[in-house]
Amino acid sequence: MTEFSNRVALVTGSSSGIGEAIARRLSALGATVVVNSSSSEAAGRAVSDSLPGESTYIRADISKRKALDFLVEKATVNDKDGNEIAADRLVVPESEDSEDSDAGEEE
């Protein structure tokens, strides 16, 4: 068993850059990684597919409350022991706009 076995890591903005590096490290440490981006779907899926451990890609624009809620729900439902890790730029939007239509898409 590794340091992050049986944990789900939700890494926002992880289709490139620092977010991708965080996703790769957490995957190498045994976490199931949820790769996320708001628009770079092909890049996000490529990162998810290339990780050494279990992973998935979910496209969601976290600047929209409904999409953020969708992302967190989908990420945490997959956790084995009720442990979540949120990494990178996870920010809760100030606006509670009920008109947000980008609820996210999972692989």
Residue 107 lies in a domain: no
Residue 44 lies in a domain: yes
pLDDT in tens, 10-53: 999 999 999 999 999 999 999 999 999 999 999 999 999 999 99
CB 55 within 8 A of CB 28: no
Residue 97 lies in a domain: no
Residue 25 lies in a domain: yes
Domain count along the chain: 1
Buried b (16+ CB within 10 A) or exposed e, 40-71: beebbbebbeebebebbbbbbbbebbbbbbbb
Residue 100 lies in a domain: no
What was the pLDDT predicted at 37?
A: 95
What was the pLDDT predicted at 86?
A: 57
CATH code, 38: 3.40.50.720
In degrees rounded to 5, what are phi and psi of residue 85? Answer: -130, 125
Residue 50 lies in a domain: yes
pTM of the model: 0.76
What value does the mean pLDDT of the chain take?
80
What was the pLDDT predicted at 105?
A: 58
Residue 104 lies in a domain: no
Residue 26 lies in a domain: yes
Residue 82, domain extent: 8-92
